[in-house]
Amino acid sequence: MMSQDLSSKEDPVHELANIGRIVVHVEYAYDIVDEMASNPEKYIDSLYKLSRLVVKVQKDLIKNRELFEEGTKNKVYEYVMNGLQRWALKVKEFADYISSLSDDRKREEEIKRLALLLISPDTYSLIVRDTLERIGGIE
């Protein structure tokens, strides 16, 4: 299988992390990321666990939509929901990319890079987490 040319496409590691970090920080799923970083060969198990949490976060966001109806929070909500809806596609792109790497060391580095990006908070993940926590909207 040919290696993907990242200069002509989006970085599948970065794209997946942009969505996944929201789930990681809203659900405090740091243990899943730690597991991925320490056992990169079992990354599929970690992505499976994160995928289950994606569904939960979507449900929590839909249930608490009214908290995100004003100004910037509305834009955050739309961005996050669009991302969560693309999770399956981004997981597939990431898995295809990892499978295309013939060097085991490079594959491990890319999985660890995903873990690093997942654990790094961004504005979106912090706004969603703080908004849901303020009213106890996280189940």
Quick: pLDDT tens for 44-53: 999 999 999 9
The string of pLDDT tens digits covering residues 43-82 is: 999 999 999 999 999 999 999 999 999 888 999 999 999 9
Asked, for residue 6, whether it belongs to a domain, the answer is: no
CATH number of the domain within which 61 lies: 1.20.120
Assigned domain for 124 exists: yes
Measured distance CA(43)–CA(36) in Å, rounded: 5
**pTM of full prediction above 0.85:** yes
> How deeply is 1 buried, as exposed, middle or buried, from its count of CB atoms within 10 A (0-12, 13-18, 19+)?
exposed
Count of structural domains within the chain: 1
